[in-house]
Amino acid sequence: MFPRLVIDLSKIRRNTEKLLSILSEKNIDLVGVTKLFMGNPKLAEAYKKAGVGILADSRFENLRRIKEAGIEGPFMMIRIPPLSHIPKMMDLVDYFLVSEPEVCFKLDESVDRPVKLIYMVDVGDLREGVMYDKAVDEILNVRKNLKKAAVVGVGTNVGCFGGVLPTKDNLKFLIDVAKEIEAEVVSVGGTVYLLALENGILPSEINQFRIGEAVLLGTDVTGNRDIPYLEQETVILEAEVIEVKWKPSKPIGPTGLDSMGRKPEFEDKGERLRAILAVGEQDINPLGLKPLDEGAEVVHASSDHLIVDITEVERPIKVGDIMRFRTNYSATLRAVTSPYVEKVYIE
């Protein structure tokens, strides 16, 4: 059935092995993030076969799915745990990312086995974490008041909210905090940190990378690039053509907002051959699709329809044909969570 998402686990495994090889030379552990595929056990198994130690997700439901499939941890929760969720996590999660003293103390009183806390430091992206200039005092105060849980290190994240890139300056903010608290683990999150490694500015104190996108898609959306030493066609969207017609390239008459509340802009290219596909905004982010048919161009989408200009495509495309697309992080995320898109895992 279509639309469907085809996920190539062999390519993902090769990407994982490649990154493990690169990071191991720098004494950096790779934490395999499973959230893009909702903690699918097949992905977790591919990570483990490649040699990943810790599996991480932002939803405890996903980690439980992995554990119930018989796949061993340790497991890391990479979203700050809501207080109301903590009781459900204590038999499951081994590492927590934290940024609030109240959360740390709740974890400490709830724990009946060793758990490790990585205190998040905000170095400028302005998502989670205590600001770097206030971090040492807060972390040391929390640490001295814990009885069972242990703050074993510090972590940070860039790129995901503010689009901030890693630099010598913001990396130094993290390392300064790590030294002050004598951190055992110095953890960074976001594929974009591979740029710092490639550019030779990654401090030697960093010993853990939390990565999903690079392994799963071979891309770095924050750095706006395909990663040259990784494979990209790991996830392919396949969708069925339901209409093929020549039409003007610019809407006729006065225009307002579209069904998503946007004001679309269209270049007048005259009459163009357009295909409509049975997939839409409810299933994907159209801006994140790259047609595999050379010459095809995604024009726009509504909730249920994707419009593609196929005027320059060499092969004849007719109703009932299947068109294939690479998907970026955003498009993949939406497709995976859509119940209307079939997911097919292949080796």
The catalytic residues are 35
Distance between CA 59 and CA 70 in Å, rounded? 18
Distance between CA 230 and CA 240 in Å, rounded? 29
Helix (H) or strand (E) holding 176: helix 168-181
At 153, list the tokens. 């290190």
Burial 121-150 (b: 16+ CB within 10 A, else e): bbbbbebbbbebeebbebbeebbeebeebe
Per-residue DSSP letter, 185: E
Distance between CA 68 and CA 64 in Å, rounded? 6
CB atoms within 10 A of CB 209: 25
Distance between CA 53 and CA 38 in Å, rounded? 19
Burial 71-107 (b: 16+ CB within 10 A, else e): bebebbbbebbeeeebeebeeebbbbbbbbbebbebb
**Burial bucket for residue 154 (CB in 10 Å: 0-12, 13-18, 19+):** buried
Could you tell me if 298 and 274 are in contact, meaning their C-beta atoms sit under 8 angstroms apart?
A: no
DSSP assignment string, 216-265: HHSEETTTTEE-TTS--TTEEEEEEEEEEEEEESS--S-----TTS----
Between β-strands 322-327 and 271-277, what pairing exists: parallel, antiparallel or unpaired? unpaired
Distance between CA 304 and CA 241 in Å, rounded? 12
